[in-house]
Amino acid sequence: MRTKKLIFPSFLVIVLLIFAFFSPMLTPFDITEQNLMTAKSPPSFPHIMGTDIYGRDMFSRVIAASRISIFSALAVVLLMAVIGVVIGIFCGYLGGIADTLLMRVSDIFLAFPGLVLAIATAGLFKNGVFGAIIALASVGWPRYARLSRGLVLSTKTSTYINAAKMSGSDTVQIVFTEILPNIIGPIVVTASLDIGTSLMEMAALSFLGLGATPPTPEWGSMISESRSLLQITPWITLSPGIAIFITVSIFNIFGESLRDYFNV
């Protein structure tokens, strides 16, 4: 029963990911092909989302943008989860001065406004998307570090770990065979629920011009670029907004079904 409920959302997410990965090849029209004669035409056949000010097919652009939009959000989550979990397990398992020190560092990053990091890292990497990923991951990892540290602390003293210790397993073995499997549930759930949020945050940074910039096809920057068209040719502004909504919804459904599955 529990697994059954997981099938459909997982299926949706997998389809979405495959689709996003191959999206640049799946567009019905070339995304840079402009045709000024048919610029700003409202949704109709064959341009089902209309065309933008350059006469480019909006539907194709929205599809093409899914790759950067979705995979940058995944990258943020993956980066902060991996860094956070590694540090969290390390701190929780070893304790001592290293624990105190790293937790202080995590306090620092937790209190950092992500926006400011975004501008600094954008300058560092000369690539807005990459900079924004780093910025969001930098302020996001402490949450995972704390979560996994707490989980480790609560499992560390349990009898089966003591048993493993006594049977001569070394630390690395214990972490991978005993601790990680026991704490992975809550972390996966948190991470899956974070994908949607990260996607929206990436889009927000791009909206401010701190992430992807036009003409990089990315939903946030597409909305930002076409803001002033909302009154005149609303489909140009609304199409990427709808794409964000659908994508975030799918990831949220997935995250919640995972939460039910792991029962956390």
Partner 1 sequence: MFKYILKRLLSLIPILIGISFISFALIYFTGGDAVAVRYEAIGGVLSPELINQKREELGLNRPFIVQYISWLLGVIQGDMGISYVSGKPVFGYIFSKLPNTLLLSVSSLITTLIISLPLGILSAVKKNSVFDSIIKALSFIGNSLPNFFVALVLSYIFALQLKLLPVISQGTSVKSLILPTLTLALAMSAKYIRQIRALIISELSKPYVIGARARGIKENAIIFFNVLRLTSLTLITLMSLSFGSLLGGSSIVESIFMWDGIGKLAIESINLRDYPVILAYVLWMAFIYVFINLMSDISYYFLDPRLRIGGGKYAN
Partner 2 sequence: MKKQIKLLSVAFSTALLLGACASSSKTLSESSASSETSSVSSGTSDTTKTLVYGTGSYGVGMSDAGLNPHEDYSGWSCVRYGVGETLFRLNENIELVPWLADSYKFVDDNTLEVVIKDGINFSSGRKLDAAAAKECFEDLIAVHDRAPKDMKIQEIKADGQTLTFVTTEPNPALLNFLAEPYTAIIDMQVGVDASKNVSGTGPYKATSVSDSEISLVSRDDYWGGEVSKKNITVKSITDGDTLTMGLQSGELDATSGLPYASYPLFENDNYNINSVATSRAFFLQLNFDNELLTDKNIRSAIAMAIDKEGFVNVLLGGHGKVANGPFPMKDGENPTYSFSPEKSKELLANAGWSDSDNDGYVDKDGKNLELNYITYPGRTELPILAQSIQANLKDIGIKLNINSTENYLEVMKDSTTWDIFGSAMVTNPTGNKGYFFDMTSLTESPKNRGHYSNAELDELAKTLSTTFESEKREEIAKNMSDILVDDCGFIFVSHLQMSLVSKKNIKGLTPMPSDYYEFSKDLVIE
> Could you say which of partner 1, partner 2, none residue 105 binds, taking C-beta under 5 to 8 angstroms by partner kind?
partner 1
Residues of this chain, 48-67, that bind partner 2 according to CB under 8 A: 53-54
Q: Report which DSSP code applies to 253.
A: H
Q: Which does 117 bind (CB under 5 to 8 A by kind): partner 1, partner 2, none?
A: partner 1
- Counting residues that bind partner 2 (by CB under 8 A) gives 22
* Burial 110-148, CB ≥16 within 10 A → b, else e: eeeebeebbbebbeeeeebbbbbbbbbbbbbbbbbbbbb
Neighbours of 89 (CB within 10 A): 20
Torsion of CA 184, 190, 195, 196, to 10 degrees: 150
Residues in the chain, total: 264
Q: How far is the CB of 249 from partner 1 (least distance, A)?
A: 5
Shortest distance in whole angstroms from residue 82 CB to partner 1: 21
208 touches partner 2 by CB under 8 A: no
**CA nearest to 113, candidates 95, 133, 140:** 140
Residue 68: CB minimum distance to partner 2, A: 14
Asked if 92 interacts with partner 2 (CB under 8 A), we say: no
Given partner 1, partner 2, none, residue 192, with its beta carbon under 5 to 8 Å by kind, binds none
Rounded to a whole number of angstroms, the minimum distance from the CB of residue 253 to partner 2 is: 33
CB of 66 to partner 1, least distance (A): 15
Q: Is 122 in the site for partner 2 (CB under 8 A)?
A: yes
Of 37 and 172, which CB lies nearer to partner 2 in the complex structure?
Answer: 37
Q: What is the CA radius of gyration of the chain?
A: 22
In sequence order, the β-bridge partners of residue 57 are: 51
Q: Which residues of this protein are in contact with partner 1, per CB under 8 A?
A: 104-105, 107-108, 110-117, 119-121, 123-124, 196, 200, 203-204, 207-210, 220, 223, 227, 230-231, 237, 241, 244-245, 248-249, 252
Q: How far is the CB of 204 from partner 1 (least distance, A)?
A: 6
How far CA 200 is from CA of 46, 197, 249, in Å, comes to 29, 5, 11
Print the binding letters for residues 17-36 with partner 2: x by CB under 8 A, - otherwise.
---------------xxx-x
Taking phi first (over 0 means left), then psi (-120 to 50 degrees means alpha), and beta for anything else, what does residue 168 get?
left
Distance of alpha carbon 49 from alpha carbon 51, whole angstroms: 7
Residue 29 vs 102, nearer CB to partner 1:
102
From residue 213 to residue 252, the character string flagging contacts with partner 2 as x (rule: CB under 8 A) and all else as - is: xxx---------x-xxxxxx--------------------
Token pair for 246: 């659908």
According to the binding rule CB under 8 A, does residue 123 interact with partner 2?
yes
Q: Of 72, 59, 62, 40, which is closest to residue 217 (Cα–Cα)?
A: 62
